[in-house]
Amino acid sequence: MKKILILSIFIFNIFSGIVYSKSDLYEKIDLFGEVLENIQKDYVDEVDQAEMMDSAINGVLQSLDPYSAYMSPELFKEMQTDTKGEFGGLGIEIGMEAGVVKVISPIDDTPAARAGIKSGDYIVKIGKEQVQGKSLLEAVKLMRGPVGTSIDLTVRRKNVKKPLEFTIVRKVIEVQSVSSEIIGEEKNIGYIRLKSFNENSDKQFLKSVKKYEKMPNLKGYVIDLRNNPGGLLTQAINITDFFLEDGEIVSTKGRKVSETRKFFARKGDEIKGKPIVILINNGSASASEILAGALKDHKRAIILGENSYGKGSVQSIIPLKNGGGIRLTISKYYLPSGKSISEVGVTPDILVEEKGEDFLINSEKDNQLNYAIKLFSS
Q: Strands 164-169 and 150-156: what pairing?
A: antiparallel
d(CA 150, CA 143): 9
Rounded (10°) CA dihedral 54, 57, 58, 63? 160
d(CA 249, CA 336): 6
List residues bridging with 101 in a β-sheet.
96, 123
d(CA 10, CA 132): 24
Indicate which residue of 202, 224, 241, 297 is catalytic: 297
Helix (H/G/I), strand (E/B), else coil: 197: strand
Indicate which residue of 286, 288, 313, 331 is catalytic: 286
d(CA 59, CA 43): 19
Is 311 marked active-site? yes
CB 100 within 8 A of CB 123: yes
Measured CA angle at 158 (ends 156, 163), to 5 deg:
25
Give the CA radius of gyration of the chain: 23
Which strand (E) or helix (H) includes residue 134? none
If you count them, how many residues does the chain have? 378
List residues bridging with 279 in a β-sheet.
224, 304
Is 286 marked active-site? yes
Measured CA angle at 76 (ends 70, 77), to 5 deg:
170
Torsion sign across C-alpha atoms 11, 16, 22, 23: negative
Helix (H/G/I), strand (E/B), else coil: 117: coil
Indicate which residue of 105, 311, 331, 366 is catalytic: 311
Catalytic residues, by residue number, are 286, 297, 311
